Structure 1
Amino acid sequence: MQIDLTGRTALVTGGGTGIGAGIARALAAAGADVAVHYAHNDEGARAVARDVEAAGRRAVVVGGDLTDPAQADATVTAAVDALGSLDILVNNAGHLVGRATVGEMTDEHWAQVMAVNVSSSFYVCRAATKHLEASEHGRVILMSSLAAENGGGAGSVAYAAAKSAIVGFGRGLAKELAGSGVTVNSLAPGFIGDTPFHDTFTPTAAQQSIVGTIPLQRAGTVEDVAGTAVFLASDLASFVTGQVVDINGGAMFR
């Protein structure tokens, strides 16, 4: 059975690099037109958009700071204006920001982690809701993390709390939008290798150590996450909502 998203439109936040870029490319490969959002990486987003177009799909690049409600609104509006509708929203944008223990963490650090992970998702979903409800195939895919279950690595308490909040937000939103046929699910990746996230925040030796604890004995790939996102965006997952899908190679079982 082949997934066909032809004629559907998607907005992928944080789509210029890493997991977001992989999801944008995978949605396009399945037939969707894609708005690729970026906050800072304009060049990366444009490269992803070129890949979407190379797959024969329409692409638009939209920039904005999603922690600003006005810019989040403008991002959704720009995507809908360019693509004509919105069927699939992938709220991938997020960040660890930096590692800090609770004892040393500043108010500003805590607020920034919550803003970039939780508030941004809320602002974008709020702006997108009316468009998704107008779709016959409305899908919201949020980005949580294994950290929401195991507390994350050293110095990532704020990040773990933010990703836990995403799970609760997603379940509540799933109930709110169910009457309109819109599904809402969260992805919870574990260790995904070759991404800016771990290249920035996890030393090479620590990455190798983590892989050694994974039952499948390998790091996850961007494609592992993207494939799950495409499934959730498709008709095959039309009866799946309010769920958290773990993508961690067996590192944690619910």
Structure 2
Amino acid sequence: MTKSLDGKVAIVTGGSRGLGAMIAEHLADQGAAVAITYAASAQKADAVVAKLKAKGARAIAIKSDQSDLSSAKPMIDAVLAEFGQIDILVNNAGIAIQGQLVDDPELDGDNYNRQWQVNVLGTIANTRAAAPKMKDGGRIIFIGSLLGSYVPFPGVADYAGTKTALVGYARGIARDLGPRNITVNVIQPGIMPTDMAADVAGELPNRDAILDMHPIRRIATLEEVADAVCFIAGPSAGYINGETINMAGGLGI
């Protein structure tokens, strides 16, 4: 039975855990060969690759620290050397530094600046390296955050700013790459059950109150977001371009 992504090659940055690992798995389920990147944990990345291979997919893991902009080109070269093509780029990797107000005299500027380096400049470097090598008709998908469009609590200005920056960048390159039928879209999840979310959960002012703001009072599942990525990556979404898709149960409407 033909799968929707048979013959395609996908890159998932930050694919060794959490949402990235789930996206990689779902892309493989649809027939794609998958390259995941990781910054630190080779063991976790190898476990994801082993799981994909057990499904019959071609898969590799590439160490690529997104805070180092020079890592982008070697990562793309490694994917081409292994698979010979690039059809899908899922810009998933990122970090979340939250909790301090912008007027806090103890604001950790270096850490917050690193967040901009990883989330924005690193993502842009990967996209610039991939775009000239991507096959016509390809897909670029940015994993943003609802905080890029709607900020319901304080202490997240820089994180929200990094995600908003990606929306503007995605719309710009959607215009640049449209003549090649390469679509560029942003998926903005709300709260998800990831390690990164757990790390910052204690900094939220009142988690139950935030859930009460959701028309659908629960957090997103990783499977739901990964399914949305697969749809945008697939043949049925070829005329969806330059869009921002919120997946937060209606928060912000």
The answer for the alignment partner of 1:87 in structure 2 is 87
1:205 Cα deviation from its structure 2 partner: 8.9
Task: Please state how far the C-alpha of 1:152 moved relative to its aligned partner.
Answer: 5.6
Query: Which amino acid is 2:111 matched to?
Result: H
**Aligned-partner Cα distance in 1 for 2:245–2:235:** 17
Q: How far, CA to CA, are the matches of 1:231 and 1:85 in structure 2?
A: 20
1:127 to 126, 129, 143: 129
Q: 2: CA distance between counterparts of 1:146 and 1:152?
A: 10
Which range is displaced more, 77-86 or 165-174?
77-86
For residues 241 and 251 of structure 1, the distance between their equivalents in structure 2, rounded to whole angstroms, comes to 23
> What does residue 145 of structure 1 align with?
145
Return the letter of the residue paired with 1:83: F
What is the deviation of 1:181? 1.1
Three-state SS of the structure 2 residue aligned to 1:147 is: helix
Q: 1:152 to 1:125 in 2, by over 3 A?
A: farther
- Maintained 8 Å contact 2:14/2:39: yes
**C-alpha displacement of 1:136:** 3.8
Residues 102/205 of structure 1: CA separation in 2 closer, same or farther (3 Å cut): closer
Whether contact under 8 Å (1:145, 1:190) holds in the other structure is yes
Q: Deviations over 1:138-165 (max 9, x none)?
A: 1100121110112264321100011000
SS state of the match for residue 218, structure 1? Answer: coil
Cα offset, 1:102, TM superposition: 0.5
Residue identity opposite 2:221 in structure 1: T
Q: Once the 2 structures are TM-superposed, how far is the Cα of residue 218 of structure 1 from its aligned partner?
A: 1.7
Match of 1:45 in 2: 45
Q: Which residue of 1 aligns with 2:234?
A: 234
- TM-aligned CA distance change 1:110 to 1:4, over 3 Å: same
Task: Tell me which amino acid in the other structure corresponds to 2:121.
Answer: S
> Which residue in 1 is equivalent to 2:251?
251
The one-character-per-residue Cα deviations of 1:100-137 (angstroms, maximum 9, x if unpaired) are 211123432332111111001110001001111xx143
Query: So what's the TM-score if we normalise by structure 2?
Result: 0.93
Give the whole-Å Cα distance in 1 for the aligned partners of 2:209 and 2:63: 36
Counterpart AA for 1:109: N
What's the counterpart of residue 6 of structure 1? 6
Task: Identify unmatched segments of 5+ residues in structure 2.
Answer: none
RMSD across aligned positions (CA) = 1.7
| Corresponding residue for residue 216 of structure 1 | 216
Matched residues in 2 for 1:127 and 1:106: separation? 31
8 Å CA contact 2:144–2:163 kept in 1: the answer is yes
Partner of 2:113: 111
What is the total number of aligned residue pairs between the two structures?
Answer: 249
The AA in structure 1 aligned to 2:178 is A
Cα distance in 2 for residues equivalent to 1:89 and 1:120: 14
2:206 and 2:28 mapped to 1: Cα distance?
34
AA aligned to 2:167 is V
* Equivalent residues in 2 for 1:69-88, closer than 5 Å: 69-88=69-88
2:85 maps to a residue whose letter is S
What does 1:172-211 align with in structure 2 at a 5 Å threshold?
A: 172-192=172-192, 194-203=193-202, 206-211=206-211
Deviations, residues 41-93 of structure 1 (Å, cap 9, x unaligned): 22221111112112211000001111212112111111221121110000000
Tell whether the 8 Å contact from 2:97 to 2:112 is kept in structure 1 after alignment.
no
Whether the 8 Å contact between 1:146 and 1:248 is mirrored in structure 2 is: yes
TM-score by length of structure 1 reads 0.93
Give unpaired runs (5+ residues) of structure 1.
none
Cα separation, 2, equivalents of 1:152 and 1:223: 25
Determine helix, strand or coil for the equivalent of 1:239: coil
